């Protein structure tokens, strides 16, 4: 069971932002920006390589709801998903990092 599955199951607490039947958004425990939210499918998929188009469609719509809820749709934001070893993925449960709330550096 991944740590994110434990969060979905309520076994580990999280600072929830939004959820629906299939997706959950919660604050990252080690924020890399003023706003740093993780967006996950509740049903574990390992990474972007393994996710179906159907799940991505739902995840995209849900992510747009989260950005609107946080007001990031107006100010801008960054969306990142790390994949595998070279990508620096630590948790093998697909997640998008939503970063914003300030001017983000690049490079
Ligand atoms: P990644 O390196 O892309 O797999 O990102 C994993 C992210 O999960 C990191 O940014 C961690 O800070 C975050 N994280 C790990 N455990 C928790 C937790 N219990 N609650 C919230 N975020 C977590």
**Per-residue pLDDT for 107 more than 90?**
no
CA 82/CA 91 separation, integer angstroms:
9
Model confidence pLDDT, tens digit, residues 51-64 = 999 999 999 999 99
Model confidence pLDDT, tens digit, residues 85-96 = 999 999 999 999
**pTM for the predicted model, two decimal places:** 0.98
97 touches 25 (CB < 8 A): no
CB 29 less than 6 A from any atom of ligand 1:
yes
Please give the number of the atom of ligand 1 that sits closest to the Cα of 36. 10
Query: How many angstroms separate the alpha carbon of residue 61 from the centre of ligand 1?
Result: 22
pLDDT of residue 81: 98
């Amino acid at each position: 069971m991944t740590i994110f599955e434990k969060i979905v199951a309520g076994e580990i607490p999280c600072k929830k932002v939004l959820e629906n039947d299939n997706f959950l958004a919660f604050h990252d425990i080690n924020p890399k920006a003023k706003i740093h939210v993780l967006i996950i499918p509740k049903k574990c998929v390992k990474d972007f390589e393994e996710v179906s188009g159907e799940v991505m469609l739902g995840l995209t719509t849900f992510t747009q709801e989260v950005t609107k809820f946080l007001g990031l749709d107006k100010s801008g934001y960054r969306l990142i998903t790390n994949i595998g070893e070279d990508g620096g993925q630590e948790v093998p449960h697909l997640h998008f990092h939503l970063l914003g709330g300030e001017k983000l550096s690049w490079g």
